[in-house]
Structure 1
Amino acid sequence: MYKSAIRTLCLGLDILVGLLLTGLLLSSPTAAEDLISPLRLSGFGTLGATYSSEDDLHPLREWGQPDTFQGHWSWRLDSLLGVQANARISSQLDAAVQLVLKERAEQSLDESTEWAYLGWRPNSEATLRVGRLGLDFYLLSDYRNVGYAYLWERPPVEFYGPLLPLNFDGIDAAYRLSVAGGDLIAKVFLGQTTRTIQLQRSVGSDNVELSPLWGGRLSFERGAWRLSAGLAQVTFNGQVGSLTRSGLLPGLENPLVQAFWPQAGDYALDLRYDGKSATFYAIGAAFEDSDWQVSSEIGYLSSEWTPLSDILSAYLSVGRRFGRFTPYAVVSTVRPLEDIDPVVAPSAIGLALSSDLRTLYSATDGFYSALGMDQSTLSLGTRWDFHRNIALKLQWSHSRIRSGDLWATEHSFEAIKDRDVNFISVSLDWMF
C-alpha cells in the first residue's frame, strides 16, 4: 500500500511542477516578463575517447550503461552534452530544468531529464524542493554529469559505478546552520525512480523501478574542506526482464533441469528481487586549495537480494596544481564483505548429457559472479586548463578484476574472473 502511495505522491508532484511552470510561462505578459528576466541558461559537455587493451572487455562509467565500444575503441563512453535553465520566480521560489544527452539504454525525453523541480526558500536557512531531483548523498551529487567540475577523466567506477540512480521523482528538504566557522547542512529526501538499464548487449534493456527511495545527508563545509555522510535506501519492484529473455530464469524453473540440478529452483527464487531492498552508505572528505586537490570516499552497500553481495568500496585521489596543469593519481577498490559461495554445479550425468544444461550453469555462475563486484584500479592522469571554462584531460588506468559486473562483455551473464585490463582515456570538458 505504501508503494502505491509513494507512486501517487511522485506523480502528483510531477504534474504540479509541470502545471506551475506552464502556468507561469503562459500567464500575463507582466508575469512572464517577471519570470523570463531572471532566467539563466548554462550548459556543459564532454567529448571523449577511450581505448581498452581487451577487445572483449570494455569499461563502463556506471552499472547498467550500454556497451559503447566497437572493438578496442569508444568515443561514446564519456561523451555527453547538457543544458540547464534556472529561473528565479520570486524572492522565495525558483525552478530548474537540466537535460543531458548521452549514451543510454533508452533515448527519451524522460530519461534525458536529470532535473525538473520547483524550490521554495522560506528563509536563508531552509529549502524545500519538489519534482525530479538529483540524488544527494555523496560528494559528486550535484555534478556527476559535469566533467569540467571534477578533476578526473571519469569518477572512480569502483565507488560510483554501483550507485544506480542519479536522480528521483519526489521531494527533499534541507536546513543550513552556521557552525564552527562553517556551514552544516542537513538534508532528507523521499521519492521513487524508474530507469532503463542494459545488463548485456545481447539481451536488450530492462526497466528498473525503485520505490520507495529515501535517505539523507549531513555535510559540513569550511574553507577548503568538505565533509559528507549520507545514506539512501531503495526497494526493487518487478523483475529483471533480461533474466527471462535470456532463458536464464525459465531454464532454472524447468522441472527437467531441476531433476538433474536440484539447486536450480533455489537459484530461480534468488533471482527474483521484487520487494527486496538495498541500502547505500557513504562518507567522504575533500580538500581543495590553490595547490592541492585531495578527496576520498568510503561506501557500503547492504543488499537483501541474494545475488547482490554486500560490498565495501573506497577511493583516494590526490592532485597537485602546477600552473594550468594538475597531475593526479587515484586508487580505488570494491570488495565483497564475505566470500562469494560458488554456484553448485548440476550432476555429472546432467552436464555430460546436455550442452544446454552446461550453458545454463555457466550463465548462472556468471550472474552471481558479476554481482560480487571485486576489483581494484590504479589511475594516473593530468588535467590541462588551457582556456577559461575548458579543460583537456588524459588518464591511464589499470584494473585488476577478480570478479564483477562493472564491465561490458559480448555474451549474456559471462563470468569475468582474474583479468587485467589497461585503458587510456582523453576528454575535452567545458562549461558555458
Structure 2
Amino acid sequence: MSVTNMKKLTAYSVLLCCSLLPEEVRANDDIDVSGFGSLIGGFVLDGDGYWARQPYAAGQYESGFEFKTESRLGIQARYFLTDRTRITGQLMMRGIHDFKPKLEWLYVSHDLTNDLSLHVGQMRLPVYHFSDFMDVGIAYPWLRVPSDAYSLAVTNFQGAGFQYNHHFDDIWVSVKGYGGQQDTDPNELITTISQYQKSQRYNDDGNFVGVEGIRRVKNYRDMKGLVLEVGYEWLSVRYSFLDHQEQFLRFEEGEYPSNSQSSGRWYDIHFKDFSVKVDTEKWFAIYEWNEYDGIYESWMTSVAYRVGKFTPYVYYTAFEEPNSRDIAPGGISAGFEDPDTGTLDVKYNTLAFGSRYDINPRLALKVEYTIFTDKGDSAVFIDKDQDGITDSKGLFVGLDFTF
C-alpha cells in the first residue's frame, strides 16, 4: 500500500471511529470528542476575482456564489492514557480539498507538573496570535482571520515542544518552545501564488482559462521556535520567533519531479511576530505585525465592539514583498518594474467591515464586506487586462459552529 493511500485510510478510519462510537463510549471520561466548522460563501462585487490567500490556497472567489473554498469541518479527539498523558488527533475536511478527510494533528502530551507539559508528534506551528484557532471561526469576531498578515506557507510541523503556563496574582505568563521539521510537496499556497503571478492563461478573446501546471515545493528543517505571551486582566502581549532552514524547489509545467529550476540549496531563515490584544467585556482590539527575514512584512489591526448578541468590527491589513520572484502577466516591458528599486514587488492591503451575531454560544452568523487594493507590480489573482492590478470588492457570509 502506498504512503498516500495509507494516510487516506488512516483519516477515514479515524472519522469512521469517531462517528460510530456509541454514546456510552463517547461519554467515557477517558475519551473527549469535539468538533467545529465554518460554512462560508461569497461573491465578487467588483473586479476579476478575489483571493484571501488562506493556507492550502483556500479563499479563491471568481464568479457567482462560491461556497466550497473556505468552508471546513474539524473533529478533534483526545484519549487520556493516564491523568497526565493523552493523545490528541485532529481530522480536517476542507472545501478546497473537496472535503476529503485529512489527519492534520496527531501528538502525545504529558503533564510534568500542573504548569509544564511536553508534546511530541505533528501539531500546529504556533507563530501567530491565532495560530491554534485559525480553523475555529467561532473563536474570533471576523469571518476569517485577516489573511494578509497570516501568510506563512506552513501551518503544521512534526517534532516536539513544551508549554509552560503560570499565574502570578493578576499576571499570567505562557511560554512555548518547540523544534522539528516539515515537508510540503506541493506547497499549495506558494504554488498558487506563483501560478497567478506568472502563468495565467487567456484565450484569443481575452477570457481567463486557467493557469499553468507549475509546482512549488518547500521543505523546512532544524525548526527552533519560542513563544512568549504575558497578560494582565484585559491586556495581553505576545512575541514569537522561529529560526529554521528552508529549501525551495521550482518546477515548471511538465518538469516535476526531476527537473527543478532552483538549486535545492538550504537557506537560514527567521520569522518573528508581535501582537498586542485588548479584550474587555465590550471592546476587542488587536495589532499584529510580522516579518519573514527580509522576504516580506505584513501587519493587521482590528477593532470590534460587542452590543448584545452583535459584534460589529473593522480591520485593516497590509502585505509587502519587495522582491517578487515572479512577474505580472504583462512582463517588465509593460511597465511593471518598480522605478525605485528596479525590481518587482507584491504589495496590497485589505479593508473590511463586518458583524458577528451570536445565535447561541455554539453558533455564530457573520457577514463581511471586503475591499482589496493591489498596489504592487505582480498580479495577486485573476488579471484579465494583464496590467498587474487585481483590485476587488466582495461580500461574504459565514456560519461558525462547534459541537
Greater shift, 99-108 or 210-219, is seen at 99-108
Q: Distance in 1 between matches of 2:219 and 2:342?
A: 23
Equivalent pair of 1:48/1:79 in contact (CA under 8 Å): yes
- After the TM superposition, which residues 145-294 of structure 1 pair with which residues of structure 2 at under 5 Å, given as runs? 145-160=135-150, 162-179=151-168, 181-195=170-184, 196=186, 197=188, 198-199=191-192, 200=195, 201-203=211-213, 205-237=215-247, 239-241=249-251, 243=252, 245=254, 272=263, 274-294=265-285
Letter in 1 for 2:269: A
Local SS of the residue matching 1:212: strand
Q: Distance in 2 between matches of 1:143 and 1:406?
A: 30
What TM-score comes out, normalization by structure 1 length?
Answer: 0.72
In proportion to residue count, which structure has more helix?
A: 1
Q: What is the alpha-carbon distance in structure 2 between the residues aligned to residue 76 and residue 164 of structure 1? A: 21
Q: Which residue number in structure 1 is paired with residue 351 of structure 2?
A: 378
2:389 pairs with 1:422: no
CA drift of 1:282 comes to: 0.4
For the structure 1 residues 342 and 292, does the alpha-carbon distance in structure 2 shift closer, same or farther, using more than 3 Å as the test? closer
TM-score (norm: length of structure 2): 0.76
The amino acid that maps onto 1:210 is: Y
Give RMSD over aligned pairs. 3.8
Residue 164 of structure 1 and its aligned partner are, at CA, apart by 1.5
Q: Aligned-pair distance for 1:222?
A: 2.9
Deviation sequence 1:79-125 (CA, Å, 0-9, x none): 0000001122212211211111114469876xx22211100111112
Q: 1:404 to 1:231 in 2, by over 3 A?
A: farther
Q: Distance in 2 between matches of 1:342 and 1:81?
A: 34
Cα drift, residue 341 of structure 1: 8.8
- Tell me, yes or no, if the aligned pair for 1:58 and 1:69 is still in contact at 8 Å: yes
Greater fraction of residues in strand: 2
Q: How many Å separate the matches in 2 of 1:100 and 1:123?
A: 31
Kept after mapping to 2: 8 A contact 1:398/1:423:
yes
Residue 74 of structure 1, CA deviation: 1.8
CA contact (8 A) 1:214 1:233 kept: yes
Does residue 314 in structure 1 map to residue 285 in structure 2? no
1:396 and 2:369 matched: yes
Q: What residue is the counterpart of 2:126 in the other structure?
A: 136
List runs of 5+ in structure 1 lacking aligned partners. Answer: 1-17, 26-32, 254-267, 304-309, 345-357
Q: SS of the counterpart of 2:142? A: coil
State the percentage of identical aligned residues.
Answer: 20
**Which residue of structure 1 aligns with residue 67 of structure 2?**
75
Higher Rg = 1
Gaps of 5+ in 2: 1-9, 18-24, 196-210
SS of alignment partner, residue 83 of structure 2: coil
Change (3 A) 1:416 1:97: farther
- In 2, distance between residues paired with 1:102 and 1:81? 6
User: Residue by residue, what CA displacement relative to the aligned partner does 1:256-306 show, whole Å, maximum 9, x if unpaired?
Assistant: xxxxxxxxxxxx6xx546312432210111122221111110111115xxx
3-state SS of the aligned residue for 1:151? coil
SS of aligned partner of 1:137: coil
Residues 233 and 373 of structure 1: is their aligned pair in 2 closer, same or farther, counting only changes over 3 Å? farther
When the two structures are aligned, how many residues end up with a matched partner?
A: 355
Inter-partner Cα distance in structure 1 for 2:146 and 2:374: 14
144-153 or 84-93: bigger deviation: 84-93
